[in-house]
């Protein structure tokens, strides 16, 4: 069976990098692919960059939509695609020439596989191998270790209801992998570098606010409560563990306070944690 692969490239004001991403698609050894570029309301020259590829190779397709975020753009592209295997690719990243070919071989060898990914390397502001933990559902319950550019079966996206639009501040990939993998299915990590993750000023400085962080954690905890309870234990157990850690921390703090207090009192004649004596020493 010759799988058709649909490469989905959302782009929002990344025209300066987009050409490199699309060139890496064009160079694929595996030829049965289509590449759908979703311009998510860009105000730069994204369309101009894409037109060159669309004109030269009919496997490239361009769509424009109003800006609604990454999850919306990916869902839009997947809804337009014909392939049974999906590969998301951000507009500032790249893939190796043999990534798709090796991934398709893995799918053919094992029909139970839901997701195939590879080793990854950073480039741009940083370089070197991207050290990610190996996949396991236990590890996935702690953090995400599968980057966005993994290949998966379109039917799994359909079962999951697509990328969740509620993940508007990030972590949409973590949520998606949990959704399609928590109830079973194999994952294969290819033992070679096939994905190149660009580190730029933009993603180095991207920070969530505390409110956004709390929102995402609360949303994920409710949506995937069954998954997290299975790998963390009951909520009562989780609460007990949190209290235990807090008590251990307080014990350490009190111990450190005692040692510092004793030291200061011995050599300076006052207790640093006694507000009255401390203020008197400052006068």
Q: Does residue 1 register a pLDDT over 70?
A: no
Which of 59-63, 72-76, 202-206 is the least confident region? 202-206
Is residue 236 included in any domain, yes or no?
A: no
Number of domains in the chain: 2
- In whole numbers, what is the pLDDT of the chain averaged over residues? 86
Q: Does residue 260 register a pLDDT over 90?
A: no
- CA distances to 4, 97, 155 from 158, rounded to whole Å, are 17, 28, 5
Q: What digits encode the pLDDT tens for the residues 148-171?
A: 999 999 999 999 999 999 998 999
Is residue 72 included in any domain, yes or no?
A: yes
Q: Does residue 275 register a pLDDT over 90?
A: no
Is residue 175 included in any domain, yes or no?
A: yes
**pLDDT for residue 181:** 97
The CATH number for 153's domain is 3.90.550.10
Q: Does residue 73 register a pLDDT over 90?
A: yes
Chain center to CA of 141: 14
What residue has token string 């949409």? 172
190 with 276, same domain? no
189 with 258, same domain? no
Is residue 18 included in any domain, yes or no?
A: yes
154 with 250, same domain? no
The percentage of the chain sitting over the pLDDT mark of 90, rounded to a whole number, equals 69
* 3-state SS, residue 283: coil
Question: Which residues span the domain enclosing 53?
Answer: 5-202
Is residue 231 included in any domain, yes or no?
A: no
Is residue 235 included in any domain, yes or no?
A: no
**pLDDT for residue 223:** 94
Q: The whole model's pTM is what?
A: 0.81
154 with 268, same domain? no
**pLDDT for residue 207:** 73
As a whole number of angstroms, the distance between CA 39 and CA 11 comes to: 5
């Amino acid at each position: 069976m010759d799988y058709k692969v649909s490469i989905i490239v959302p782009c929002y004001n990344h025209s300066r990098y987009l050409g490199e991403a699309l060139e890496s698609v064009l160079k694929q050894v595996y030829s049965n692919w289509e590449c759908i570029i979703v311009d998510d309301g860009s105000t730069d020259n994204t369309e101009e960059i894409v037109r060159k590829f669309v004109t030269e190779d009919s496997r490239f397709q361009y769509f424009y939509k109003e800006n609604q975020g990454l999850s919306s753009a990916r869902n839009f592209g997947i809804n337009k695609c014909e392939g049974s295997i999906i590969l998301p690719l951000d507009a500032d990243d790249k893939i190796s020439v043999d990534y798709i070919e090796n991934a398709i071989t893995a799918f053919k060898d094992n029909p139970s596989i839901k997701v195939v990914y590879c080793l990854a390397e950073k480039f741009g502001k940083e370089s070197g191998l991207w050290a990610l933990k190996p996949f396991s559902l236990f590890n996935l319950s702690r953090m995400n270790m599968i980057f966005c550019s993994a290949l998966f079966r379109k039917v799994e996206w359909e079962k999951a209801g697509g990328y969740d639009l509620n993940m508007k501040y990030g972590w949409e990939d973590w949520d998606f992998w949990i959704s399609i993998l928590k109830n079973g299915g194999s994952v294969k990590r290819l033992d070679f570098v096939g994905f190149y993750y660009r580190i730029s000023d933009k993603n180095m400085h991207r920070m969530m606010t505390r409110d956004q962080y709390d929102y995402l954690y609360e949303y994920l905890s409710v949506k995937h409560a069954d998954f997290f309870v299975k790998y963390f234990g009951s909520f009562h157990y989780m609460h007990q563990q949190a209290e235990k850690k807090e008590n251990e921390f307080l014990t350490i703090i009190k111990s450190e306070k005692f040692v510092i207090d004793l030291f200061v009192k011995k050599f300076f004649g006052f207790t640093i944690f006694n507000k009255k004596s401390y203020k008197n020493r400052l006068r």
